[in-house]
Amino acid sequence: MLELLVATKNKKKLKEIKEILKPLNLKITFLDDYHNTPHIIENGKTFRENAVKKAIKISHFSRKLTLGEDSGLCVEALGGEPGVYSARFAGKDKSDLKNNLKILRLLEGLPLKKRSAYYACAVALADEEGLIGVVEGRCSGKIAFAPKGHFGFGYDPIFIIPKYKKTFAELGLVIKHRMSHRFRALEKAKKIIQKYIESNK
């Protein structure tokens, strides 16, 4: 069974990736399964740059097929922020709740039609020989007026899917995993991984 090392320590993100990649029958590990993994400074200007950096650095360290992922929320009324700073938008004492509340505070008074946003995700795959491929996915929505729902993580409680008029946190993982930015990027990544498996038989 091929091992895929996911270059993250985020257990919630890992859980989603495992769920979406389940059909490939991979042994999926993550950074906490290894000792002395190199620290990665996420200083890329785009999700793509950060994903590539994670994949290459960790594949060089582990000599295994590695998946680097970076994702976040881009709000049109905020000029695309928080973007690559999504996880740390609220500053030093960041948390999902504080990040969400900061977005809501910045958008205060704006009607729903001016609260357009999208989730973006970049996935990079690399092995010890270098980068294999990079793919991206997006999911468009609106920013709610208050957090709603208990599923998911990150900005899911304030990210409304217009088709359902509910947030990702209200809709739950089954629906989220059929249409999210991460799902769309990983669906493309599946094809790259499948080719890799076949060429390394």
Catalytic residues: 70
Q: Which helix (H) or strand (E) holds 24?
A: none
Amino acid at 164: Y
Give me the residues paired with residue 134 across strands. 124
Residue 189, token pair as written in the block:
């990544």
Strands 65-75 and 159-161: unpaired
DSSP 38: P
Neighbours of 192 (CB within 10 A): 17
